[in-house]
Amino acid sequence: MNTSNTWEEKLAPLLLKYKHKKHPLDYQNLYQLMIMVILSAQDSDANINKVAPALFEMYPNLETLSVSSIDALVPYISKVRNFGTKASWIIEIAQTLKEDKNIPLTMEELTSLKGIGRKSANVIMREMKSPAEGIIADLHVIRVAPRIGLVNETKDGNKVEKQLMQVLSEEIWGEIGMAISFLGREICRPTNPKCNQCPINAHCNYFNTLKN
């Protein structure tokens, strides 16, 4: 693993390309974002975007969800993976928070809610421009960060996040995870990555291995 202390400099073109780019989940407010992030676990953003319009037409806020039930919610999310479990989480959250204004924006409070782990909390906080308390480590980051040489390979998102937090300055925590995620979605694909289009290929272990 490259342990250079100039990663901020090396990753600057990546941040320039993707900084503040909206998450692919097509949300309109914090309430929608939170629900969609919960639903997106082990599912695709594209699928959640398809489900969302009817769901939010029926349940426009936490107040409407809080007086609903798992059985009533399920038909609106039945095409989502693990919909039964997610329905129970969402109803419990709605009954706990009751109103949209009570949705928290700190790591400790968000991760105390069912169905929201560190990755989900980091996404919510990033999109709402809250001060970063960690780094987004989604499936794309878990795959791409070791390929670049930023971290040691592991399938554990929390371990990837911890390594990234040790290597990178806190100043870029809020944006760098999503920037790496976008890189993985658009350029650094699992197979046939478009290395020539990568803004940081000069510093990438994988690309440099290909050249040798």
Does the predicted model carry a pTM greater than 0.85?
yes
CATH architecture label of 7-21+135-211: Orthogonal Bundle (1.10)
Asked if domains 7-21+135-211 and 30-127 share a fold, the reply is no
Distance, in Å, from the CA atom of 55 to the CA atom of 35, rounded to the nearest integer, reads: 10
Q: DSSP per residue over 92-135, as a string?
A: HHHHHH-SGGG---SHHHHTTSTT--HHHHHHHHHHTTPPPSS-
Q: What is the pLDDT of residue 211?
A: 72
Please choose, from the candidates 172, 163, 176, 179, the residue with its C-alpha nearest in 3D space to the C-alpha of residue 3: 163
Q: What is the pLDDT of residue 5?
A: 52
pLDDT values of the chain reduced to their tens digit, one per residue, 212 residues: 544 458 999 999 999 999 999 999 999 999 999 999 999 999 999 999 999 999 999 999 999 999 999 999 999 999 999 999 999 999 999 999 999 999 999 999 999 999 999 999 999 999 999 999 999 999 999 999 999 999 999 999 999 999 999 999 999 999 999 999 999 999 999 999 999 999 999 999 999 898 76
Q: Report the SS3 class of residue 23.
A: coil
Distance, in Å, from the CA atom of 176 to the CA atom of 116, rounded to the nearest integer, reads: 20
Residue type, 87: A
Please choose, from the candidates 35, 73, 69, 68, the residue with its C-alpha nearest in 3D space to the C-alpha of residue 52: 35
- Parse the chain into domains and list their residue ranges: 7-21+135-211, 30-127
For residue 161, with 0-12 CB atoms within 10 Å meaning exposed, 13-18 middle and 19 or more buried, which class applies? buried
According to CATH, the topology of domain 30-127 is Endonuclease III; domain 1 (1.10.340)
Q: Which two tokens stand for residue 94?
A: 């709605």
Do residues 135 and 161 touch, judged by C-beta distance below 8 A?
yes
What are the phi and psi torsion angles at 94 (to 5°)?
-60, -40
Do residues 195 and 208 touch, judged by C-beta distance below 8 A?
no
Q: What is the pLDDT of residue 152?
A: 96
What are the phi and psi torsion angles at 102 (to 5°)?
-95, 0
Do residues 7 and 150 touch, judged by C-beta distance below 8 A?
yes
Q: What angle do CA 175, 37, 76 make, to 5 degrees?
A: 155
